[in-house]
């Protein structure tokens, strides 16, 4: 038992597991799970998404950024602007 | 063959309810003139933006869902582009297959 390795929980693709989750740029709360606090898209190595869904996810996140539903970077976010002015 | 599209408009919050409904009517007119049909309009109301757009931190989102001949989409977008009070817009083609599935579920 001395050398028992730490085994992390198996990651799985959330969108493959449930067809209910709509992968859509309007579903901002869901997209927020896949970006960091700074607004960067989290690698699928970390989230466990499959390649197919990660591809769709990135384009949807980028659409949401275009429409000001998500920020590109924190320094551009409306919250930061409010604090500085 | 008509395609189904949706356009998300980001409007100036200073237009108010009346101003935005005037704009919507204008766009509906353009759509119908070009052989399109509105399926539904969805007003999300005034929301705080993720980042300032044209120095405004708030904006009104309106989602339009419509069917339109594919060749006319660029014409519709041109009309949006020359309208004052529209900060941003995004047109997306909707998935027909998914739509049929939804219809079957309703039936």
8-state DSSP, B39:
E
How far apart CA B47 and CA B60 sit, in angstroms, is 6
Domain B3-106 has CATH 3.20.20.70: no
Overall average pLDDT of the B98-102 stretch: 57
pLDDT tier, A20 (very low <50, low <70, confident <90, very high otherwise): confident
Which of B51, B91, B95 is most worth mutating to test chain A (most A CB atoms within 10 A of its CB)? B51
Whether B51 sits inside 8 A of A66 (CB atoms) is: no
Interchain CB contact of B48 with A (< 8 Å): yes
Tell me the average pLDDT of chain A.
Answer: 85
pTM greater than 0.90 (yes/no): no
pLDDT tier, B40 (very low <50, low <70, confident <90, very high otherwise): confident
Domain boundaries, chain A: 14-84
Judging contacts by C-beta atoms under 8 Å, the chain A residues touching residue B53 are 68
Tell me, what's the pLDDT at A9? 82
Tell me, what's the pLDDT at B95? 80
User: Beta-carbon neighbour count of residue A57 at 10 Å?
Assistant: 23
Three-class SS of B40-97: EEEEEEEEEEEEEECCEEEEEEEEEEEEECHHHHHHHHHHHHCCCCEEEEEEEECCHH
CB B92 within 8 A of CB A60: no
CATH of A14-84, one of 1.10.443.10, 3.40.47.10, 4.10.640.10, 3.40.309.10: 4.10.640.10
pLDDT tier, A57 (very low <50, low <70, confident <90, very high otherwise): very high
Distances (CA, A) of A26 to A35, A61, A80: 15, 9, 23
Of A25, A26, A71, the CB nearest to B50: A71
Please determine, for the modelled complex, whether the ipTM score is greater than 0.90: no
Determine the residue of chain B that is closest to A60 in CA distance. Answer: B92
Q: Quick check: B64 pLDDT over 80? A: yes
3-class DSSP assignment, residue A13: coil
């Amino acid at each position: 038992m001395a050398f028992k390795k730490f085994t992390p929980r198996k990651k799985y693709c959330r969108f493959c597991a449930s067809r209910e989750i709509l992968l859509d740029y309007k579903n901002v709360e869901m997209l927020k799970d896949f970006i960091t606090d700074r607004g960067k898209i989290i690698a699928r190595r970390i989230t466990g998404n499959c390649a197919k869904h990660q591809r769709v996810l990135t384009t949807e996140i980028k659409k949401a950024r275009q429409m000001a539903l998500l920020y590109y970077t924190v320094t551009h976010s409306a919250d930061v602007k409010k604090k500085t002015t | 063959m008509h395609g189904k599209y949706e356009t998300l408009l980001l409007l100036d919050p200073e237009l108010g309810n009346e101003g935005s409904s005037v704009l919507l009517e204008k766009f509906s007119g353009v759509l119908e003139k070009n052989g399109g049909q509105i399926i539904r309009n969805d007003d999300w109301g005034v929301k705080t933006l993720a980042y300032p757009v044209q120095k405004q931190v708030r904006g009104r989102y309106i989602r339009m869902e419509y069917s339109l001949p594919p060749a006319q989409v660029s014409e519709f977008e041109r009309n949006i582009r020359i309208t004052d009070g529209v900060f941003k817009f995004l047109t997306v083609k909707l998935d027909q297959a998914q739509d049929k599935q939804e219809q079957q579920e309703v039936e």
